[in-house]
Chain A
Amino acid sequence: MLELSHVHKVYRVGAFGGGRLRAVRDVSLTVEPGEVVSLIGESGSGKSTLGKMVLGLSRPTGGTITFDGTDITTIRGHAARKEYYRRVQGVFQDPFSCFNPIFKADRVFEMIRTSYFPGVSDADWRDRVLAALATVRLDPGNVLGKYPHQLSGGQLQRVLIARALLLDIKLLVADEIISMLDASTRIDVLNLLSDLKERGLGILFVTHDLSLGNYVSDKSVILRKGAVAEMGPTLRVFENPLHPYSRHLLSCVPQLHRTWAEVDAELAANPPEDVVLPVAADEESAPLLEVEEGHFVGIDQG
């Protein structure tokens, strides 16, 4: 459904735009309907840039992004872009800043109606809103007619997801959507994502938290400095990390039932086998090597 092929993004930096910053380097990946793909990386890994390019908020400098067969960089004009956003929507990290505090929170639903469904009758629209709220497991009485400050972060985040569901979306780009939520509500939003997955929605889940990436996703992509370090089925990536960077990252994640010392001792006792990493021919490319079926490792960037 969504296909990224050798996507690059180079930003101009510095006072006169003379410097170059390679934010995304030769990334190829796909998202199928009903599949959750996690983009995992530390700050500066290019994960959010990838999300922005898929949403059309920023243009790739090289490579193509195709959605259902159309190259999204060729989408021009207001009407065509609107059609694209009917099928692809994003939800972002900070739910509090996505709402205008002057208006009631459910205004976001009304705005979808005026721009996409002007012909729908009031009663019909109300049913749709209630159905969307039921999907995100919100009680309409608790959120409709309330101002943003009266709702919690988890509720606001779910209102935004419900807003996206009012459209006939095929792909949801979820950029760090739970990092600002409390531990007790985080899991509800994660469970919601997996319910949506059951309904055939493709989700690009951008996160810096490895345990969250693991919980929801079918496929994990670990990014480093803009290039893919490791990509594969989530279980394989987490059980058998091949790239030295993924191993290092996994050993640093605080775990609930094991301390860092225990993890280190375990690693020292059974050192994992080294894998031959692919070598990049030049500064621009970042080839992947298939080690197991569907499980790729990327270049070594020191």
Chain B
Amino acid sequence: MTLRVNDLKVYYQTLRGDVHALDGVTFDLADGEIMGLAGESGCGKTTLGKSLIRLDSRMRHVGGTIDLDGKDVPIADDDAMVPLRYHEISLIPQYAMSALNPTRKIGRMINELLRSRGVRPADISQELTRRLELVGLDADVLNRFPIELSGGMKQRVVMVMATLLNPSLLIADEVTSALDVSTQRSVAESLVEFRDREYVKSMVFVTHDISLVYQMADTIMVMYAGRIAEKAPAKTIINAPRHPYTQMLISALPEVGSTMEQGRLEGIPGTPPGLLNPPTGCRFKDRCPMAFSKCSEQPPLLEIEPGHWAACWKTG
């Protein structure tokens, strides 16, 4: 088991009180598993991704533990996290386009990064060239400035950089959202290739695009308002979702080939609850067509069949 997150709670501190962005998140990630993390904006998916590597100054670790390869990840202790970052846990940020230093050539930037992590660039340069070729980039990009590369090329450079030291866990946050469809496909396929070649052991792929995540992920976890709604193998989530939120989310997606005449799709009425003072009980109950009296209690996340977890009183 690569990653085990147990009852993780991370709150944002604001002047008006704590925002309960992650409120008791529990899940496991197996070796070689690519997990897609999906949900609406504000559901806590990016917060979860960040909580696994670095809490920024507004985020406070309130409770819960993270285990990586059997060792505890001291997420609340920023200094103790330093040796883990990049070596064990790595992140591809949401806007890779702006993650590159515009005043440095790519090669120099990578060397600086490696030295700051105590690795001699010379030991790795061959591997670096090989991996650049793998994602379809010429080694010549190392002598270029970021401005000379297209969006897709920059994204691939950042991907190679983030995985250079073979981390156990890679967090990819909306890495393909800013790309065109054809570039999106090649970037997504390179990520799978990296997993197959064991450059990364397992991956959390944060996205709002469920149809993209279905193409590449082994499992999909759907979050709603700071909690997990459902986690299951990708095929199960798409074809046989059990949680009412997942069901409504999937049925609201237009597909290539579906038109208005063939059937009108319906969105989910209402908006997600604010997390400053989150409602008690199931957080989806106000928008849920199946809500009943029991929903005023918080439903536990239960394994309803092997590998399929859902938090709903109707599925348990």
Q: Is B253 a contact partner of A183 (Cβ separation < 8 A)? A: yes
The answer for the CA separation of A152 and B268 in the assembled complex, in Å, is: 14
Q: How many A-B residue pairs have CB under 8 A?
A: 107
Set A187, A235, A252: member contacting B182, Cβ < 8 A: A252
Q: Is A183 a contact partner of B40 (Cβ separation < 8 A)? A: yes
The answer for the CA separation of A255 and B260 in the assembled complex, in Å, is: 17
Task: Specify the chain A residue showing the minimal Cβ separation from B40.
Answer: A182
Q: Is B211 a contact partner of A255 (Cβ separation < 8 A)? A: yes
How would residues 244 to 272 of chain B score, 1 for a CB under 8 Å from any chain A CB and 0 otherwise? 00001110111111111000111110010
Report chain B residues within 8 Å CB of A188. Answer: 267
- Confirm or deny: A186 has a beta carbon within 8 angstroms of a beta carbon on chain B: yes
* Interface of chain A residues 152 through 185 with chain B (CB within 8 A): 152-153, 182-185
Set B41, B181, B208, B257: member contacting A252, Cβ < 8 A: B181
Q: What is the CB-to-nearest-CB distance from B75 to chain A, in angstroms, rounded to a whole number?
A: 28
- Confirm or deny: B79 has a beta carbon within 8 angstroms of a beta carbon on chain A: no
Set A187, A250, A257: member contacting B265, Cβ < 8 A: A187
- Confirm or deny: A43 has a beta carbon within 8 angstroms of a beta carbon on chain B: yes
- Confirm or deny: B215 has a beta carbon within 8 angstroms of a beta carbon on chain A: yes
Report chain A residues within 8 Å CB of B271. Answer: 152
The answer for the CA separation of A216 and B264 in the assembled complex, in Å, is: 10
Report chain A residues within 8 Å CB of B238. Answer: 256-257
Q: What is the CB-to-nearest-CB distance from B222 to chain A, in angstroms, rounded to a whole number?
A: 11
The answer for the CA separation of A288 and B239 in the assembled complex, in Å, is: 41
The answer for the CA separation of A98 and B259 in the assembled complex, in Å, is: 30
- Confirm or deny: A32 has a beta carbon within 8 angstroms of a beta carbon on chain B: no
- Confirm or deny: B212 has a beta carbon within 8 angstroms of a beta carbon on chain A: yes
Set B255, B259, B266, B268: member contacting A256, Cβ < 8 A: B255
Q: What is the CB-to-nearest-CB distance from A266 to chain B, in angstroms, rounded to a whole number?
A: 13
Contacts A249-B182, A255-B211, A256-B211 given; indicate if A184 touches B258 (C-beta within 8 A): no
Give the interface centre of A186, A215, A254 by most chain B CB atoms within 10 Å.
Answer: A254
Sorting the interface of chain A by its residue count into under 10, 10 to 19, 20 to 34 or 35 or more gives: 35 or more
The answer for the CA separation of A259 and B188 in the assembled complex, in Å, is: 12
Q: Is B181 a contact partner of A183 (Cβ separation < 8 A)? A: no
Q: Is A191 a contact partner of B181 (Cβ separation < 8 A)? A: no
Q: Is A248 a contact partner of B259 (Cβ separation < 8 A)? A: no
Report chain B residues within 8 Å CB of A138. Answer: none
Give the interface centre of A214, A235, A253, A257 by most chain B CB atoms within 10 Å.
Answer: A253
Task: Specify the chain A residue showing the minimal Cβ separation from B268.
Answer: A184
How would residues 161 to 189 of chain B score, 1 for a CB under 8 Å from any chain A CB and 0 otherwise? 00000000000000000001110110011
- Confirm or deny: B214 has a beta carbon within 8 angstroms of a beta carbon on chain A: yes
The answer for the CA separation of A191 and B189 in the assembled complex, in Å, is: 33
Report chain A residues within 8 Å CB of B259. Answer: 214-215, 234-235
Q: What is the CB-to-nearest-CB distance from A97 to chain B, in angstroms, rounded to a whole number?
A: 16
* Chain A residues near B (Cβ < 8 Å): 42-43, 152-153, 182-188, 190-191, 194, 208, 210-212, 214-216, 234-235, 238-239, 248-250, 252-257, 259-260
Known: A212-B254, A214-B256, A253-B181. 19 other contacts (CB 8 A): A42-B182, A153-B41, A182-B41, A182-B208, A183-B253, A187-B254, A194-B260, A194-B264, A208-B181, A210-B256, A214-B258, A215-B258, A215-B259, A215-B265, A252-B182, A254-B212, A256-B211, A256-B214, A256-B255
* Chain B residues near A (Cβ < 8 Å): 40-41, 151, 180-182, 184-185, 188-189, 208-212, 214-215, 238-239, 248-250, 252-260, 264-268, 271
